[in-house]
């Protein structure tokens, strides 16, 4: 079995276990206890809870089985797996995306999202996402993105949308669940919202986001994800889907210039002042132009 096959086996095992265990934890009323703060975040924005730690522990167990020296860059910690020396692979992971919902007992948008990187080249090689609520698994590699429904065994290859301009079909995502995020986002995007209200009243805003946005971008369910002051830990786990589906992820300056976002180990607790991820660069430019109109 080659290296990629071993990593794929660990990814597969991890995601299927998370898909099974988290709903059980919810039914039992467990995993909601607050364990600590998230680096670079306020308590009002996010905290680490029991389900976060449990998922991260499960992932470490499966990565150990792969048999490699791996650095696990989680939203909550950096774990060195497989002994001393330089890592052969890196993993960026949001072990449980949706913890603020889970701790409140809200059964919606529970995800685990991760990307595997070759340490020597800093290139993605695999990615996975478990949509726990919908019981779906996403697998991404150099061949593209496949969605599996484990209960039926059905597998479908998916693709990002091909739209290049805003329209009535547009679905723009952003994480708007906190008053602070909502206040900043609506202020910064007020011109785009006016344009959409006037010209594209059938367009929609999806008010949840974070790492789970990238599987949905790769599947064509959303067309752009727009955030301001976005934590890098919400971006890095999903970058394998951007790579596999040829989706663009950009840092935007105040003049609207786009530059490719890059994963940078050691900077996980930092933020991106203005982030736009989109199904293609034309859509990204269209969104930025509307915001700056």
Beta strands in the chain (DSSP E): 34-37, 47-49, 70-74, 78-81, 89-97, 111-118, 123-131, 136-141, 144-149, 154-158, 171-173, 204-206, 224-231, 248-252, 258-260, 271-278
Give 13-26 pLDDT, tens digit per residue.
999 999 999 999 99
Q: How confident is the model at residue 209 (pLDDT cuts 50, 70, 90)?
A: very high
DSSP β-bridge partners for residue 231: 271
Q: Are residues 189 and 254 in the same domain?
A: yes
Residue 75 has pLDDT above 90, yes or no: no
Percent of the chain with pLDDT over 90: 90
Calculate mean pLDDT across residues 166-187.
96
Q: Is the pLDDT higher at 49 or at 257?
A: 257
Domain membership of residue 166 (yes or no) is no
204 in the same domain as 179: yes
Which single residue is written with the structure tokens 């079909």?
Answer: 169
Contact 99, 47 (CB under 8 A): yes
> E-assigned strands of 187-239?
204-206, 224-231
Same domain, 274 and 180: yes
Specify the higher pLDDT residue, 143 or 75: 143
Query: Looking at residue 44, what is its pLDDT?
Result: 67
Task: Judge if 143 and 185 occupy the same domain.
Answer: no
Q: Which one is predicted more confidently, 76 or 185?
A: 185
- Determine the average pLDDT of the residues in 56-72: 96
Rounded Cα gap, residues 257 and 95, in angstroms: 32
Closest CA to 211 of 124, 112, 90: 112
Last residue of a domain, one of 137, 158, 179: 158
- Is the confidence at residue 225, as pLDDT, over 90? yes
Query: Is the distance from CB of 135 to CB of 16 less than 8 angstroms?
Result: no
Same domain for 153 and 257, yes or no, is no
CB 74 within 8 A of CB 93: yes
Q: Is residue 253 domain-shared with residue 143, that is, in the same domain?
A: no
Residue 135 shares a structural domain with residue 176: no
> Is residue 191 located within the same domain as residue 144?
no
Among the candidates 126, 158, 190, a domain finishes at 158
Structural domain for 16, as ranges: 3-158
* Confidence label for 251 from pLDDT (cuts 50, 70 and 90): very high
Task: Give pLDDT tens digits for 87-114.
Answer: 999 999 999 999 999 999 999 899 999 9
Q: Decide if pLDDT at 269 tops 90.
A: no
95 and 19 in a common domain: yes
- CATH number of the domain that 85 lies in? 3.30.540.10
* CATH code where residue 277 lies: 3.40.190.80
* Predicted model pTM: 0.95
């Amino acid at each position: 079995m080659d290296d990629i096959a071993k990593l794929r086996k660990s990814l597969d095992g991890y995601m299927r276990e998370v898909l099974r265990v988290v709903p059980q934890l919810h039914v039992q009323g467990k995993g909601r206890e607050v364990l600590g703060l998230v680096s670079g975040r306020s308590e009002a924005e996010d905290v680490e809870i029991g389900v976060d730690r449990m998922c991260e522990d499960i992932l470490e167990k499966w990565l150990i089985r792969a048999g490699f020296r791996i650095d696990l860059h989680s939203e909550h910690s950096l774990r060195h797996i497989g002994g001393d020396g330089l890592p052969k692979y890196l993993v960026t992971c949001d072990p449980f995306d949706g913890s603020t919902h889970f701790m409140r007992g809200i059964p919606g948008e529970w995800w685990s999202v991760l990307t595997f990187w070759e340490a020597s080249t800093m290139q993605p090689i695999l990615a996975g996402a478990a949509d726990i609520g919908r019981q779906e698994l996403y697998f991404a590699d150099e061949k593209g993105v496949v969605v599996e429904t484990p209960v039926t065994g059905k597998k479908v290859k998916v693709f990002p949308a091909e739209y290049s301009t805003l329209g009535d079909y547009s679905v723009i995502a952003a994480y708007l669940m906190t008053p602070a995020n909502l206040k900043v986002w609506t202020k910064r995007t007020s011109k785009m919202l006016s344009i959409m209200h006037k010209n594209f009243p059938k367009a929609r805003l999806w008010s949840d986001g974070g790492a789970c946005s990238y599987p949905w971008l790769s599947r064509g369910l959303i067309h752009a994800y727009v955030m301001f002051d976005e934590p890098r830990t919400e971006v890095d786990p999903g970058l394998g889907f951007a790579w596999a589906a040829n989706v663009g992820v950009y840092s935007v300056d105040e003049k609207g210039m786009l530059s490719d976002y890059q994963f940078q180990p050691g900077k996980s607790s930092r933020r991106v002042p203005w982030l736009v991820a989109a199904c293609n660069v034309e859509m990204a430019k269209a969104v930025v132009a509307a915001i700056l109109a």
